Amino acid sequence: MKNYTIFYRGGKTKNWGKGDTKGLWVTDDINYAKMYGKIHKYKIKNNINLLNIWTDEAQELLEKFFKDDNNTDDIWYNPDNKFIKFLEKQGYDGFCNNQNYLLFNKKVIV
């Protein structure tokens, strides 16, 4: 039995944290990844702690992080490093946004 799942990243580089956001955007859909360029394949542990952004828990975390600020619409698409650190402190390895996963704990890669 495999203890990992294959995920893909489409783009020029396989390097971790390249771009504006700390972490690694991946998907389990190879065809979706192909839209972004060269395919890079990752083995990701099965037992990671991912936050599903469509849950009540995710909404509660947004409220806790932003307090009274309602300007939270794009935080799941372009999170800043301060928000990522906040989620790490809550014990998350990353989050799931539809077919995209943002992983910010390097230890999840096999």
The pLDDT of residue 23: 85
Q: Residue 48: which domain range?
A: 4-108
Per-position pLDDT tens, the chain of length 110: 789 999 999 988 776 665 566 788 999 999 999 998 999 999 999 999 999 999 999 989 988 998 866 666 688 888 888 999 999 999 999 999 888 999 999 899 98
Which one, of 39, 36, 42, lies nearest residue 94 by Cα? 42
Q: What is the pTM of this model?
A: 0.86
The pLDDT of residue 12: 81
The pLDDT of residue 96: 94
DSSP string, 18-71: -SSSSSEEEBS-HHHHHTTSSEEEEEEETT--EEETTSHHHHHHHHHHHTT---
The pLDDT of residue 73: 64
The pLDDT of residue 46: 92
Count of structural domains within the chain = 1
